[in-house]
């Protein structure tokens, strides 16, 4: 699906899909109708070849700790058919900012599940897809095949209002038949993950796995301990389809290892023993730490995807300095002390070792 205002269509839809809690301001029907009237969706198809996969399917469940999800029989069985990502972290709490991060490369300080609208000059992954006319769509159960699909069950089946057993049962009914469908499964990569953990005080590590026809036979039934976040998906999609970065936290995010091996990018090894990744930093969408300033993305430098930064981002923020060091594989904020002091390193193919610590500048980090 394409839209004339991809930002409102994509992030706005994800906002409505996020978990409903007592802090959420439910939009009126008039507000929903007004938002719907601003977009003109249509449904072409595309066939842009990717380096590793031609179709990406992103399925999100909700609010479950890694250890709890790993005990579910249906989820653990499916994970054995692909690659279990043992070090995949969500970004913050509660639900909605994680959805926002997965599309916008940032939470913009969002710390609630309220109905929010983001300025149209803030680019998202949908803007990147539009560069090469990659068709995309979002599928929400109970709501009225592109190359990128975002699928979220209803509030019962995603475990938010129930438990992981109910979610696992839904996955067992929904996903295996699709994986047996040759048209759906061929050259497809499916990520099943959760938006966040259920326990806000614990590290925000979430049960995640990859399945699909794009996974080589020798990788099925394996595990991958690379440090990933929701930002890694934006970066991996960009690398796979030759798209630029948003210049935000997707810029330095590790790529899915399958993609990194194909592009030659060397992922960072992150010491996650002290990584919680469970708080939102100040921003214009924050209710607790409000700041009127929107974070400025990077407009130059190297990003993990390897295709520079989107031209629309460069034009919008020309002459401004980035708010953060977006080359870090771990999102952090020095002002609030969020995720400070996390160490990471890598050894490049010619033998050079690079190191970094969140919150500290390092000559070994990629220049912005």
Query: All domains of the chain, ordered by start, with CATH?
Result: 6-357 (3.40.720)
Whether 291 and 282 have beta carbons less than 8 Å apart is answered as yes
Instruction: Say whether 222 sits in a helix, a strand or coil.
Output: strand
Task: Please give the positions annotated as active site.
Answer: 161
Distance CA 64, CA 265 (A): 31
pLDDT at site 244: 98
pLDDT at site 145: 79
Residue 111 CA: distances (Å) to CA of 6, 94, 154, 248 = 23, 6, 22, 18
Tell me the pTM. Answer: 0.85
Can you list the alpha helix ranges (DSSP code H) found in the chain? 6-17, 29-36, 66-70, 73-79, 96-104, 125-131, 164-179, 182-185, 230-241, 257-263, 311-316
Cα torsion 249, 211, 209, 101 to 10°: value is 30
The two beta strands, 148-152 and 269-270, are unpaired
Distance CA 268, CA 328 (A): 9
pLDDT at site 5: 46
The stretches in the chain having pLDDT less than 50 are: 1-9, 15-24, 362-368
Place of tokens 């990788």: 219
Nearest to 111 by CA among 126, 130, 98, 120: 98
Distance CA 294, CA 55 (A): 32
pLDDT at site 39: 67
pLDDT at site 42: 58
pLDDT at site 16: 46
Distance CA 17, CA 106 (A): 17
């Amino acid at each position: 699906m394409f839209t004339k205002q991809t930002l409102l269509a994509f992030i706005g839809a994800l906002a409505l899909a996020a978990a409903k809690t007592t802090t959420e301001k439910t939009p009126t029907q008039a507000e929903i109708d007004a938002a719907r009237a601003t977009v003109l969706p249509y449904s072409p198809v595309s066939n842009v070849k990717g380096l590793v996969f031609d179709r990406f399917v992103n399925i999100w469940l909700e609010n479950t700790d890694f250890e709890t999800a790993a005990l579910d029989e249906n989820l653990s069985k499916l994970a054995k058919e692909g690659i279990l990502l043992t070090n995949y972290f969500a970004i913050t709490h509660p639900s909605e900012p994680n959805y926002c991060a997965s599309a916008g490369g940032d939470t913009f300080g969002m710390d609630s599940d309220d109905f929010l609208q983001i300025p149209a000059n803030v680019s998202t992954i949908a803007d990147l897809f539009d560069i090469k006319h990659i068709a995309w769509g979002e599928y929400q159960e109970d709501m009225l095949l592109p190359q990128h699909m975002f699928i979220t069950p209803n509030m019962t089946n995603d475990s938010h209002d129930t438990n992981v057993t109910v979610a696992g049962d839904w996955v067992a009914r929904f996903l295996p038949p699709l994986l047996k469908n040759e048209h759906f499964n061929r050259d497809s990569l499916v990520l099943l993950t959760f938006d966040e953990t259920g326990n806000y005080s614990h590290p925000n590590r979430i049960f995640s796995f990859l399945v699909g026809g794009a996974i080589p036979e020798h990788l099925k039934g394996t595990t991958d301990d690379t440090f990933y976040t929701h930002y890694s998906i934006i970066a991996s999609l960009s690398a796979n389809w030759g798209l630029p970065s948003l210049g935000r936290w997707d810029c330095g995010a590790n790529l899915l290892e399958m993609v990194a091996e194909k592009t030659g990018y060397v992922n960072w090894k992150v010491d996650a023993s002290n990584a919680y990744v469970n708080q939102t930093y100040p921003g214009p969408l924050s209710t607790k730490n409000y700041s009127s300033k929107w974070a400025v993305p990077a407009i130059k430098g190297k990003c993990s995807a390897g295709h520079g930064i989107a031209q629309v981002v460069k034009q919008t923020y020309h002459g401004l300095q980035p708010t953060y060091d977006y080359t870090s594989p771990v999102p952090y904020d020095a002002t609030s002390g969020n995720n400070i002091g996390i160490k990471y390193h890598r050894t490049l193919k010619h033998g050079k070792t690079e190191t970094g610590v969140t919150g500290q500048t390092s000559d070994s980090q990629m220049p912005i």
